[in-house]
Amino acid sequence: MRNIALKLMYNGTAYHGWQVQKNGVTICETLQRAAEQITGVPVHLTGCGRTDAGVHAERYVASFRTDSRIPVERLPFAINTHTPDDIAVREAVEVPEAFNAIGSCLRKEYTYRIYNSRVKNPFYVNRAYFYPKRLDEELLNRAAHAFVGTHDFAAVRNVGTPTRTTVRTIYSCDVTRSGDLLELKVCANGFLYNMVRAITGTVLYAAEGKFTPDDIPAILASGRRTAAGPTVPPGGLYLTRLWYEDARLND
């Protein structure tokens, strides 16, 4: 029995997130079916995290165990012949027995993209959040920095997947601009349901003057979801980087 890690990417617009669901097509289900077609047996994929409906991944790792002897270098091409155009396996790596895509992941980075222009851009539909009012990226960046550290992030999570604790550590949270495109990047040891989208909405509320960046620590301390900003749409969110002890999985 081999343990295989798949490095993949996907456009999540047409899917109800990563996790298999009873009602709705998901990334995991689609990829499992493709893997089953080439191995001839049921496949159970473990993903590095649950991305929600409409969320994308430029970097993603999923692992599964198999008796198939297909060489790892041939697995990506074989699987990709059975996946739609919006899901692609970039590479397959044989990993130790103890490896688990989610349990072995040390930290993740999500990027939220905002198209900040007076005129909408059809090419960013479901790829970035259209925000027509000019935003001050320096103020946004100050607000984003207020989330860095180990905190209880209950104020910026929506009720969803049960979790033992709402405490997480954010290592960095920064906003940058390139022309009309703003990016909010958050790196943390783990994320709560809709956490990045709620952080982004809170940072935007600060930019709108509904509170100041200096108010954010008190908002977090309150633990009240209603004290923070809204949950922005999913189309602007991407999983963009992963960290593992196995350096082969980090690019």
Reading the block at residue 242, the tokens are: 């992963």
Reading the block at residue 34, the tokens are: 């493709």
229, 204 Cβ separation under 8 angstroms:
yes
245, 65 Cβ separation under 8 angstroms:
no
Reading the block at residue 135, the tokens are: 């935003």
Kindly provide the residue ranges of all beta strands, DSSP E only, lying in 84-153, ordered along the sequence. Answer: 87-95, 107-115, 129-130, 149-152
Phi-psi region of 137 (alpha: psi -120 to 50; beta: other; left: phi over 0): alpha
- Beta bridge partners, 92, equal 6
- Whole-number Å distance between alpha carbons of 58 and 207: 28
User: Does the active-site annotation cover 52?
Assistant: yes
Which residues, other chains included, contact 113 with Cβ-Cβ below 8 Å and sequence gap of 6+? 124, 127, 128, 129, 181, 182, 183, 236, 237, 238
Burial class (CB in 10 A: 0-12, 13-18, 19+), 140: buried
In single-letter form, the type of residue at position 1 comes to M
Residues with catalytic function: 52
